[in-house]
Amino acid sequence: MASYEKGQSLRTRNDTPQVTLFSVKVRLQETGEMFRVPCCSRLTKVAELIERLELVAGIPAHFQRLSYIDEGDMPDKSTFKYNGIIPKGTISLRTWSQDGCSDLVKAAAEGDLTKLKCLGVTVDSNYNTPNSLLLSLEARCDWVAARASTALYIASHRGHTSMVHFLLRNGANVHGKTSLGNSPLHVAAAMGNCDCIDELLAYGAEIQDTDGNGHSALDLAALWGQKSVENRLFLYQWRKRASKVSLKSHLDPKELFPHQKFDSSLQTWRRGPQAKNYMVNLVNHGEYSGSNINAPRKHSSVRRQANLKESNVNMKPSIDKPG
């Protein structure tokens, strides 16, 4: 048996070091909101944190700027170990200030509809930035549509139903997605915002639409433990399928079940000057009547016992009496 010197590790070459999981806090600088991100480790990359924050904090990935302790942005490919992030540490999340992005995020996150209307989220808005003044008419329409989609995504995450309704009514794309494939319906389902989900579905959001990881809104609701959202989405799917079913006013005889062929309530039998009445004894499918606890005793067993007695009598040996 191999002996180990004092202080030598007993870990073999095939052993992998145990990874300790912990949580970190992320503070959104524009609003002061604090979000908790669990299941992190020293090997977690900043890019992975950005991807998770798109659902946790409701900020699209291309808007995020993450820093720790100082104001410098952390590289996407760097790890928590490289940046010195410790368990339960607080990471700063900021958005780009250029092109009015910070004001847009702040208004949408706080649900300030009055301020949002003045930030270029509708076609008839007079809001401009130094960048938008250089755009053509077609490019400016795309610029406004992108801002409206961003505001719709953040409002759906925060549960601002009136803001979601306003944006959808003014042409915001309900099918718009982030760079990671998340839509307003995805983030609303993950956060459990049922009223926002109703608004999004009313304007044509697709339940089966998937994100970059192949998850639908129903999948995200299950992963995030939003049972009420699951029930609502299931009910919406059932109603959508039921609306496509058409009922016939007249049924052909070959389409009828046996118990329906003599049913006077069907339109098929309402013909002529006189009504035809039929009576059918319909038995519900249930327990077999013979096995019920209140079922009468079978007569066959009684006969069997009587026959057995007769056979026993006949089988008795006969004794001759002495003459």
Question: What span, in angstroms and rounded, lies between the C-alpha atoms of 74 and 310?
Answer: 101
Q: Is the pLDDT at 290 greater than 90, yes or no?
A: no
- What confidence score (pLDDT) does residue 213 get? 93
- What confidence score (pLDDT) does residue 265 get? 60
- C-alpha angle with apex 35: 32 to 40, nearest 5 degrees? 140
Enumerate residues 6+ apart whose C-beta is below 8 A from 119.
Answer: 100, 103, 104, 107, 125, 127, 147, 151
Indicate whether 43 and 83 sit together in one domain. yes
pLDDT in tens, 228-255: 999 999 999 998 888 887 766 666 767 7
Indicate whether 132 and 205 sit together in one domain. yes
* Cα 291 to Cα 281, 294, 296, distances in angstroms: 21, 8, 9
pLDDT in tens, 89-131: 999 999 998 899 999 999 999 999 999 999 999 999 999 999 9
- Reference 156, options 128, 119, 182; nearest CA is 182
Indicate whether 109 and 218 sit together in one domain. yes
Share of the chain above pLDDT 70, in %: 72
Please report which confidence band the pLDDT of residue 301 belongs to, taking 50, 70 and 90 as the band edges: low
- Reference 88, options 22, 44, 39, 33; nearest CA is 22
pLDDT in tens, 162-208: 999 999 999 999 999 999 999 999 999 999 999 999 999 999 999 99
Indicate whether 196 and 252 sit together in one domain. no
Indicate whether 135 and 178 sit together in one domain. yes
- What confidence score (pLDDT) does residue 234 get? 93
- Buried b or exposed e, range 186-224, using 16+ CB within 10 angstroms: bbbbbbbbbebbbbbbebebebeeebeeebbbbbbbbee
Note whether residue 263 is domain-resident: yes
Total tally of structural domains belonging to the chain: 3
Indicate whether 191 and 77 sit together in one domain. no
Indicate whether 117 and 199 sit together in one domain. yes
Question: What span, in angstroms and rounded, lies between the C-alpha atoms of 322 and 31?
Answer: 123
Question: What span, in angstroms and rounded, lies between the C-alpha atoms of 53 and 60?
Answer: 8
- What confidence score (pLDDT) does residue 316 get? 47
- What confidence score (pLDDT) does residue 252 get? 72
The pTM of this model reads 0.73
Q: What is the mean pLDDT of the chain?
A: 83
pLDDT in tens, 256-267: 666 666 555 655
Note whether residue 309 is domain-resident: no
Q: Domain of 256? A: 248-283
Please report which confidence band the pLDDT of residue 2 belongs to, taking 50, 70 and 90 as the band edges: very low
Indicate whether 127 and 220 sit together in one domain. yes
